[in-house]
Chains A and B, each alone.
Chain A
Amino acid sequence: MNRPESLADLYVAFTRLALQGFGGVLAVAQRELVERLGWMTREEFVETLAIAQVLPGPNVVNLSMMVGDRFFGTRGAMAALAGMLSMPAVIVLCLAVAYGELRNYPVAADALRGMGAVAAGLVLATGIKLLPALNKSPLGRPLAFGLAMAAFVLIGLLRWPLVTVLALVGGGGMAVAWWKLK
């Protein structure tokens, strides 16, 4: 495993990561942290994301702080947080100002639709890429994949509230894992 050399290294890595993330940063985070930088394994990524997901706040921002904290403590977490938010904030506010001018052109809406479709595809591909992490689950493959499928159906198709699915699928998974690990 590699590691960042300095706080500046962390800041730059997370700025770079954030600026590539159109329509969400999750796909890029996986690509950069696991595949390009090698700061964490695929399993570590999913494990950290699982914790980041149940904490309040933006998942990928939580994840970036957890990564920064692991290497440089609180200062690392702050450097990662600043990297994720500072440049993107400047850009999005500039866009907010420019939007008033652009909204009358239909070509802007068409371009946005194309970018949106790609963003959706990137998130789907990330999910598919991370699925093999379940092979090592103490739950056993059939149950782990079954629960993942149940979460998809309940949230994506049936639109159940997250809290309910968290209790059912997350809670169920935890209970079985507890029983198998203890």
Chain B
Amino acid sequence: MSGADFLSLFLHFLVLSPMSIGGAITTVPEMHRFLVEQTNWLTETEFTTSIALAQAAPGPNILFVAVLGWNVAGLAGAVTAMGGIMLPSTLLTLSATRWARANREHVALRSFSAGMMPLTLGLIIATGWLLALPFLREDGHRWGTLALIAVTVGLTLKTRLGLVWMVLGGGVLGALGFV
């Protein structure tokens, strides 16, 4: 990778950042076009496993961008891609937060947050559903997965069991072939 390549990697993610409303995952099709089809920096498989890996690891899902960058050009690639995707959205969030706090009693802002709340909650439940869907489509695993999801929901609502233990428990049940 030349300096110009790093610059183009940085600029590409920089441009995607302000477009990533609803999370960077919404710009995945565009990243795929750039990294796999246009520059050939990643193969199809490298691209897909990068995202799956980040989903399975602890931490915010945005880190799939770091894994993509890592697979393009090691540590320098990871830093370049993450810097590009984070910089604009971070600056925007900070200034929007300041403005919102200074004007919190303003009727426009109160209407905004009251109007957005139902959408936000609908989106959370839709995300849970979409995360579950690929497992429910696998024939041999449908009922085990469904049962595990139901147990997780029940435990989360009714107990204060640490979330990590549930995730690790799910991993063990999966490895033992119950799911």
Contact = CB atoms under 8 A, between A and B. Distances in A.
B170 A124 contact: no
A56 B21 contact: yes
A127 B167 contact: no
A-side interface mostly: helix
Contacts of B62: 57-58, 61, 85
Interface string B22-42: 111010000000000000000
A1 interface: no
B58 A170 contact: no
A59 B131 contact: no
Interface in B1-59: 17-24, 26, 49-50, 52-59
Nearest to A162: B22
Instruction: Output the residue of B110, B119, B169, B171 with the most chain A CB within 10 A.
Output: B119
Interface in B122-157: 122-132, 134-135, 138, 141, 145, 148-153, 156-157
A122 B166 contact: yes
A50 B117 contact: yes
A55 interface: yes
Contacts, number: 370
A88 B117 contact: no
Given A50-B120, A121-B148, A55 B93 contact: yes
Contacts of A99: 49, 53
A133 B134 CA distance: 30
B175 A116 contact: no
Given A57-B92, A113-B145, A129-B157, A177 B114 contact: yes
B149 to A, nearest CB: 4
**Chain B interface residue number, banded:** 35 or more
Given A51-B100, A66-B97, A173-B116, A61 B60 contact: yes
A181 B111 contact: yes
A60 B151 CA distance: 25
Interface residues of A, number: 105
Contacts of B85: 57
A84 interface: yes
B122 A152 contact: yes
A112 B131 CA distance: 13
B56 A69 contact: no
B115 A139 contact: yes
A174 interface: yes
Given A148-B122, A152-B129, 6 more contacts: A57-B62, A85-B86, A88-B59, A115-B167, A121-B153, A173-B114
Interface of A: 18-28, 31, 35, 46-47, 49-62, 65-66, 69-70, 74, 77, 81, 84-85, 87-89, 91-93, 95-96, 99, 103, 107, 110-131, 133-134, 137-139, 143-152, 155-157, 162-163, 165-166, 169-178, 181-182
